[in-house]
Amino acid sequence: SSWNPLFQAMKREVSAAFNSGGPEDILSRGFKLNVTREDICTLQPQGWLNDKIMNFYMSLLVERSKKEGYPSVYAFNTFFYSKLSSTSHKGVKKWTKGVDIFEHDIILVPIHLRIHWTLLVVDLREKTIKYFDSLGQKGDHVCKTVLKYLEEESREKRNIELTASEWTLHSMGTEEIPQQDNGSDCGVFVCKFADFISRDKPIIFRAEHMPYFRKKMVWEIIHQQLL
């Protein structure tokens, strides 16, 4: 019961974020991003999350991973994969300037496929590349593209050859991960896949949790703090 006033205050804050003010009002600043009310409104029911919301949330996951007890996480931004797939490694090699991605445990690659969000996850500890799609489509070609990128990045940045045969590539099946039941929740699914994976937690949420996750994400982005 002591939580109830707090919960009500949070609900009021989320409601105000959607409703009080102009679309260009900046509600959160961080990670070289300005999140406006218009961006936040993509988190309303049935809204399609935009790049800014996706990238801000991924940055929050990376920040959290710097705390004790969490696996170390690196996240590419949402424009990385489309650039990689159209230009190969040479087109994106500057994106990791001054960063050794191989020093991390987990690499998150959010992917925008025209009107659908999916997630690719590299686990450097296990040598696995997994593809998460809440509409159940396979992404074997995406896994192969990213493995080739990792091979070239490793060769160029640290002069180490990756052995491709040691790696397991896998598109998660519809029986392995929850699936969306509408045409708009793919971005929230990607954010929550990334949230659970970046805590080494099993993915136990379901489609019915999406309205709650949307509100929670509004609060987290405004406060730049994951609950």
Point out the residues that are catalytic: 116, 133, 186
Q: Which residues neighbour 126 within 8 Å (Cβ) at sequence distance 6 or greater?
A: 168
C-alpha closest to that of 12 among 184, 218, 227: 218
d(CA 222, CA 14): 9
C-alpha closest to that of 136 among 184, 175, 103: 175
What residue type is assigned to position 122 of the chain? V
d(CA 115, CA 133): 13
d(CA 64, CA 196): 12
d(CA 78, CA 64): 19
Q: Provide the Cα torsion 26, 185, 62, 94; round to 10°.
A: -90
Provide the 10 A C-beta neighbour count for residue 192: 22
Q: Which residues neighbour 38 within 8 Å (Cβ) at sequence distance 6 or greater?
A: 23, 24
